Structure 1
């Protein structure tokens, strides 16, 4: 079922779906390196439209944050569903973990 959903999301972007029902679970990682990633609550996702706001929930702690999709990724590892900016990872409390189980939900599409 998860694979069917992933295929459907690639074929039919989330803007055409009932966004309040769109949920994805997997793992979050974070990436740094650029100055804006240190200070902004942004993320990369393989298929969500740029400008989409998602709520990211850390499945172990229950902590949530909202981030804006502004990049593509993660690539290579299918279980990793979102790359968080350093600021977002810090706010979610996953800097020391590096990789964390999360649930993401679209809260606003552009």
Structure 2
């Protein structure tokens, strides 16, 4: 499964079914750039278990505000539309895989 880009308008429809890991990020954020290839690898490894979505906080401040995102990258795991877990800052692939598997 490919990583999807979501916006304030598409967010609710993209997270409503199954497990979705949303990366709240911005193009100017160094740690966000560091985590991007980790998310690509994770998508390759766990693509059947979780959908990975990216939301640019500069362009979609409504959704970021709704979930209290104050620092980026923030990754929130949603299960059937509800937030079930959250991590802030760069995370290694193993930590993100554990996060997903805990809720799969």
TM-score, scaled relative to structure 1: 0.29
Q: Which has the larger strand fraction?
A: 1
More helix by share: 2
